[in-house]
């Protein structure tokens, strides 16, 4: 018996030492399929730590996780309006710029910096751009006439049942994005709080019968022919496109980006829950390294915030042609709205609109 106990103690000790040798943990809250696994492993090796990754499907879920403080997140990557909300509620740490030598405004895309300069005061001190893009309409190219339909009617394809009769249409399961699609269709500002306009949006969404409400699965459903039209983020399209090309599978889908659109940017922030702020700064600085930003963009498919990363993609023959479709770079969007935090009352109303729309 003593022999077995001794062996067991040795095994337990070995596991304990192995865990200790892996160093402290960095808790990161991110979207799914939104960061290079290779870069995470590289950071762990370089800094002698382990990255514990947790994902969220929407900004609202991300907010709830941070607000609850159940997990002590060190880094999170929310979108613009959620950064604003977290900032207003005192849930974000102001950066120590000495710990972020790679965080320099001059290194980011000029048009992105213009958007940030016009955003809420204080955003530059708490949020480092990660990826940016727009909304897009992904469609099945194997359906004859569907490309012309989408490009001719834009946002109408989500709200005019006669146009899409016989087609399977998917809507993004996020209150902000579903409402934005309706507002773009109606010609309203994406940050309107007007009661009559929001009532019109609610009634419009409630009248629709979408084949499915989804998130990251929408791009896969279109690529596999299980959906004909879907609202997606522009980066979702490139993510699935790169994967399809890598697998040498025929590409039977495309994306249309209407020129009046949402322009979003996701950013790395440090929540007040962080118990290792120095390591959190090191992680953000690591992801802002030009080589790492380039690798991350080419693996994930979203548009990099760093000018150097984009320029490296332009110079790479594997990406030169396809990145012409990135928003803003070719000037395809004539009017871009950035989501702003509209306050808890409007936020609650948005969620009610989504619930009613889904029935």
How long a stretch of residues is the chain? 359
CATH of the domain at 77: 3.40.190.10
Q: What is the pLDDT at residue 315?
A: 87
Q: What is the pLDDT at residue 325?
A: 59
Shared domain for 213 and 341, answered yes or no, is: yes
Shared domain for 228 and 120, answered yes or no, is: no
| CA distances to 195, 258, 269, 320, 329 from 324, in Å | 39, 15, 29, 7, 7
Shared domain for 65 and 205, answered yes or no, is: no
Q: Alpha-carbon distance 223 to 155, whole Å? A: 20
Q: Alpha-carbon distance 242 to 9, whole Å? A: 48
Averaged pLDDT of the chain: 90
- Full-prediction pTM beyond 0.85? no
- Domain count of the chain? 2
Q: Which two tokens stand for residue 118?
A: 């016009």
Please give the average per-residue pLDDT across 282-286, as a whole number: 98
Please give the average per-residue pLDDT across 267-294, as a whole number: 97
Please give the average per-residue pLDDT across 89-117, as a whole number: 93
Instruction: Domain of residue 295: give its range.
Output: 2-132+264-334
Helix segments in the chain, DSSP class H? 2-21, 37-47, 59-68, 80-88, 110-117, 123-126, 146-153, 175-186, 195-206, 217-223, 234-246, 277-287, 290-300, 307-315, 344-358
Q: What is the pLDDT at residue 8?
A: 41
Shared domain for 120 and 142, answered yes or no, is: no
């Amino acid at each position: 018996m003593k022999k077995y106990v001794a062996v067991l103690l040795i095994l337990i000790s070995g596991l304990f030492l192995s865990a200790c040798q892996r160093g402290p943990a960095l808790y990161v809250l991110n979207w799914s399929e939104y960061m290079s696994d290779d870069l995470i492993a590289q950071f762990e090796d370089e800094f002698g730590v382990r990255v514990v990754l947790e994902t969220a499907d929407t900004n609202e879920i991300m907010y709830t996780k941070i607000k609850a403080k159940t997990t002590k997140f060190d880094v999170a990557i929310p979108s613009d309006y959620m950064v604003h909300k977290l900032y207003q509620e005192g849930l974000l740490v102001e950066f120590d710029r000495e710990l972020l030598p790679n965080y320099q405004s001059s290194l980011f895309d000029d048009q992105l910096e213009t958007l940030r300069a016009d955003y809420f005061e204080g955003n530059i001190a708490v949020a480092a751009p990660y990826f940016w893009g727009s909304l897009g309409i992904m469609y099945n190219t194997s359906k004859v006439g569907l490309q012309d339909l989408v490009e001719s009617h834009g946002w109408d394809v989500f709200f005019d049942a006669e146009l899409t009769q016989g087609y399977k249409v998917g809507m993004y399961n996020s209150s902000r994005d579903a409402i934005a699609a309706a507002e773009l269709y109606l010609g309203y500002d994406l940050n309107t709080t007007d009661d009559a306009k929001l009532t019109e949006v609610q009634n419009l969404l409630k009248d629709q019968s979408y084949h499915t409400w989804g998130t990251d699965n929408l791009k896969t459903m279109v690529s596999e022919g299980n959906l004909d039209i879907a609202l997606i983020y522009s980066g979702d399209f490139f993510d699935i496109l790169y994967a399809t090309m890598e697998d040498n599978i025929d590409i039977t889908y495309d994306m249309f980006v209407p020129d009046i659109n949402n322009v979003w940017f996701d950013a790395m922030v440090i929540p007040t829950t962080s118990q290792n702020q120095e390591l959190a700064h090191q992680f953000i600085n690591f992801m802002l390294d030009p080589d790492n930003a380039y690798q991350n963009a080419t693996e994930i498919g979203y548009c990099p915030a760093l000018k150097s990363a984009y320029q490296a993609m332009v110079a790479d023959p594997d990406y030169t042609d396809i990145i012409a479709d990135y928003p803003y770079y070719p000037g395809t969007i004539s009017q871009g709205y950035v989501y702003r935090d509209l306050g808890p009352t409007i936020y609650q109303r948005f969620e009610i609109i989504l619930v009613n729309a889904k029935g």
